[in-house]
Chain A
């Protein structure tokens, strides 16, 4: 959301200033105006700031930087840079088919923080395991990858819909009876990254 963080900074600054004013001059609360000011400073603005902060954190959790901030995700970040046309995530990332700053969220829309309450609880468990538990050697999705994550972009696209193969199985793809990954099976494949060359991003 644009300007959310700037607006939040403004609310926090105003709240802290008003809190300081009332806390240092509590005699202000003797007057009606002072009591209204105290109500704004001590209740309304802090709760507003907390709500805005929650929203800002939810937006931040959609960023690629957030996902890759945990060490265990480092190979997944590298899989975006692999110089190999067969690697799905790399192809999408390097050709701007997905926004680079929200690469992970674009294809994993229902994972941990982004998903329902159950997904969010799983996310908390991930943080716990990351610091206090034993990180599994192989990380897997909890459920098979849903074709919805592909179709929310590819459905309706000409190259997708006019492909003869896709036409044959269009209904099955839409219902998840056939997974997109049955044919497009090079996802992150982090255990095969060893020795793979990396693409060096160039900008004009």
Chain B
């Protein structure tokens, strides 16, 4: 069964945000500096939070709205 294209798009977008966020978080652990912690929290953490929110919106948001067809 094919997924709804909107769900697919949202999942891909959420996946991109989460992937980037997780990679940034992991990278900051190789840098023992206070700035690394701020990058972890403010960049990585925000991207992960955004990705989680987009995912939650994808699964509970309106994707099965009936479409109207011309002439009907």
Q: Nearest CB to that of B33 among chain A residues?
A: A69
Partner of A127, one of B15, B35, B45, B55: B35
Task: Let me know if A57 and B37 touch, CB within 8 A.
Answer: yes
Contact with B along A1-45 (1 / 0, CB 8 A): 000010011001001100110111011011000010010001100
Given contacts A16-B22, A26-B8, A50-B48, contact A57 B3 (CB under 8 A): no
Interface-forming stretch among A59-67, A152-160, A166-174, A179-187? A59-67
Interchain CB contact under 8 A, B55 and A43: yes
Asked if B32 contacts A60 (CB within 8 A), the reply is yes
A56 at the interface (CB under 8 A from B): yes
In the bound complex, CA of A63 to CA of B36 (Å):
14
Contact, CB under 8 Å: B22 / A42: no
B51 contact set on A, CB distance < 8 A? 42, 46
* B34 near A70: Cβ-Cβ < 8 Å: yes
A22 touches B11 (CB 8 A): yes
Q: How many residues of A are counted as interface, with CB atoms below 8 angstroms from the partner's CB atoms?
A: 41
A8 in contact with B29 (CB, 8 Å):
yes
A30 to B35, CA, bound (A): 42
The one of B7, B14, B25 in contact with A53, judged by C-beta atoms closer than 8 angstroms, is B25
Asked if B1 is at the interface (CB within 8 A of a chain A CB), the reply is yes
Q: Is the CB of A23 within 8 A of B22?
A: no
Contact with A along B24-60 (1 / 0, CB 8 A): 0110110011111110110011001001100110010
Which 6 residue pairs of A and B lie closest in terms of their CB atoms, listed nearest first? A23-B15, A42-B55, A26-B3, A26-B8, A69-B33, A66-B32
The residues of A with any CB-CB pair to B shorter than 8 Å are 5, 8-9, 12, 15-16, 19-20, 22-24, 26-27, 29-30, 35, 38, 42-43, 46-47, 49-50, 53-54, 56-57, 60-61, 63, 65-66, 69-70, 113, 123-124, 126-127, 130-131
